[in-house]
Amino acid sequence: MTKKFIQTNKSMNGPGVKKEFLIPDIYGDSKCFIGIDTNNRYEFGLIVYTGAELDEEIVLARAIEKKSIGFFQRKNAKKRLKIYLAEIKSLKIDDTVRLSESIGLEKVKK
């Protein structure tokens, strides 16, 4: 569990962007983040403090409220989100990140 997550940021995602949490694309194989509420695609995200403990079950439940996925896809998504959250835990608040080619998180220099 972690109290950190990745979120959009107006300075890196554009002035009209909606503030939302970002997850790896659990619905497809794109190498970008998707907004948990809008499913919009983003190249960069910002590590933020959420104030609430998050695990893969909580994040997956929130994601599938907006767009459902099948049983086997859900199983793979849960594994991917567990790894994703472990990587987030190792990063610092205010770090800018993107998904690397191996679908891991990569810190971006500001």
d(CA 49, CA 69): 28
What's the pTM? 0.91
Q: Which two tokens stand for residue 14?
A: 């554009």
Q: Domain residues of the chain, as ranges?
A: 2-108
- Please provide residue 107's backbone torsions phi and psi, each rounded to the nearest 5 degrees: -70, 135
pLDDT band at 27 (very low <50, low <70, confident <90, very high): confident
Q: What is the pLDDT of residues 43-74, one digit of tens each?
A: 999 999 999 999 999 999 999 998 888 888 88
Query: Would you call 3 exposed, middle or buried from its count of C-beta atoms within 10 A (0-12, 13-18, 19+)?
Result: middle
pLDDT of residue 41: 94
